[in-house]
Structure 1
Amino acid sequence: MPKAFFVDTSRCTACRGCQLACKEWYELPANETLQQGSHQNPPDLNANNYKVVRFSEQLVDGKVNWFFFPDQCRHCAEPPCKMVADGYMEGAVIQDEKTGAVLFTEKTRQLGKDDFEDVRGACPYNIPRRDEKTGLWAKCTGCQTRVAKGLLPACVKACPTGAMNFGERADMLALAEKRLAVVKKDFPRATLADPDSVNVIYLLQDEPSLYHAYSVAQAPAGLNRKEFLARLAAPLTRTVERLMRS
């Protein structure tokens, strides 16, 4: 069975401990940012931030509410990024058999910016980022190297409230369902975000759109299902065309 994260946003205080722990573990450099009218910093995921706690201020039932969302790669059970990348170069994106973690490898440096945009466009959560200096693709690795040594992912280890959890997928699903039943008593609109297709399962107290545009899966850039499937197939089509010309 693959491993899974369970992110209980009802317990998230936006301390950003998970975000900092991730950055420190991978020794990622600082980003120069500008104040954009939000406590969220940096403004988005980037090649030097694999995780960012999103802040969303919303007016709900006449009251101002904060919704916090520790955003990261969902490590999809059937990752579209890998499906597309395989059409360009096998091994650029791999999936660890033991944990289910989806990993961008050093081979991504050999792929072009257009190739990357195709892969990013296939992600229903808008996660992949590219280092413009090195060409290396970047995102959460699920701390696969830590997990292989019996350690918790850095973000889970650092979380002080129990919002971040990690373990066997079956156990995390059971924990998510148990917590959902409790949270629904006070927040009847609470839901789990795409629990059947990802290995990072979020519990949301309210409508997903209140948290983040990509808190649940969607076809990127407003594409309909037919257009989305066509985008997934495009790299494979181009590979076949190249082979036929060679």
Structure 2
Amino acid sequence: MSKSFLIDTSRCTACRGCQLACKEWHGLPANKTLQWGSHQNPPDLNPNNYKLVRFHDYMDETGTIRWNFFPDQCRHCEVPPCKEVGDVYIDNAIIKDEKTGAVLYTEKTMQFTPEQAEEVREACPYNIPRRNDQTGLMSKCTMCFGRITNGLPPSCVRACPTGTMNFGEREDMLKLAEERLALLKKKWPKASLGDPEDVSVIYLMTDTPDTYHEYAVAEAKPTSPMTKKQLFAKLASPIKAMKA
């Protein structure tokens, strides 16, 4: 069975150890940023940041100010829409390793025109892929493919000190997700899992997804007669039918 992450946001302290570990493992350069009114740094994902701890503060229905942390990364979709679009232009520029479930961007992505790369990005319900304007290479989380195929955990999981980041066999992570969800609902009735049937990176949230990040789940905005959520479901349905 393929691998999955469980990201338990109830345990996240925004230490950003996962974010730094990802950069160090992949040898990514630092970003030059400016203060923009948030502790979230850098402001968004970019070719030099495959993982980003997002900060969102809001007032709940009791008038209490809450601060939610969201360690954002590629969801490694069961049926990746980005690959479906990418294959229209360059076959296997984006690949999915069936053994691990990792969705990987290859150097072939440099052959996409800027317009094609933008279509690939727009196909993602989670707004993840980024393109290097100098090289044309598209990039995102790799699931630390070289590590997991050698029996090591992803670097972000290895670095996490609180138990927020979990990784293992998909069946085990889904079981852990349901157990943690049942426990958290006692304190946070709105707790939920983010698209667990469709992705390999499952988020456990203590409040509604919109209190974490605009793209926390595949709700998305209409781009055509079909929303991204509907497109996701359409792409996934033949695979689910085959598994049934």
Compute the TM-score of the two structures, normalised by the length of structure 1.
0.91
Give CA deviations for 1:103-162 in whole Å, capped at 9, x if unaligned: 000101111100100000100000000011110001000111100000000000000000
> Given residue 105 of structure 2, which amino acid in structure 1 is its aligned partner?
F
Structure 1 runs, 4 residues or longer, greater than 6 Å off: 229-232
Using the alignment, how far apart are the partners of 1:124 and 1:186 within structure 2? 29
Give CA deviations for 1:175-227 in whole Å, capped at 9, x if unaligned: 0000001111100000001000000000000010000000000335x436526
1:37 is aligned to 37
Using the alignment, how far apart are the partners of 2:172 and 2:225 within structure 1? 32
Compute the TM-score of the two structures, normalised by the length of structure 2.
0.92
1:185 is aligned to 186
Give CA deviations for 1:24-74 in whole Å, capped at 9, x if unaligned: 000100111111100000000000000000000111120110000000000
Using the alignment, how far apart are the partners of 1:96 and 1:109 within structure 2? 20
2:19 is aligned to 19
1:104 is aligned to 105
Give unpaired runs (5+ residues) of structure 2: 233-244
Q: Is the 8 A contact 1:92 1:108 kept in 2?
A: yes
Using the alignment, how far apart are the partners of 1:206 and 1:176 within structure 2? 15
The structure whose Rg is larger is 1
Distance verdict in 2 for CA 1:214–1:225, change over 3 Å: farther
Using the alignment, how far apart are the partners of 1:224 and 1:169 within structure 2? 33
Q: Is the 8 A contact 2:219 2:229 kept in 1?
A: no
> Given residue 57 of structure 2, which amino acid in structure 1 is its aligned partner?
E
Using the alignment, how far apart are the partners of 1:176 and 1:80 within structure 2? 24
Matched, 1:6 2:6: yes
Displacement, 1:228?
A: 4.7
How many residue pairs end up in the alignment? 231
Q: Is the 8 A contact 1:109 1:136 kept in 2?
A: yes
Distance verdict in 2 for CA 1:44–1:229, change over 3 Å: closer
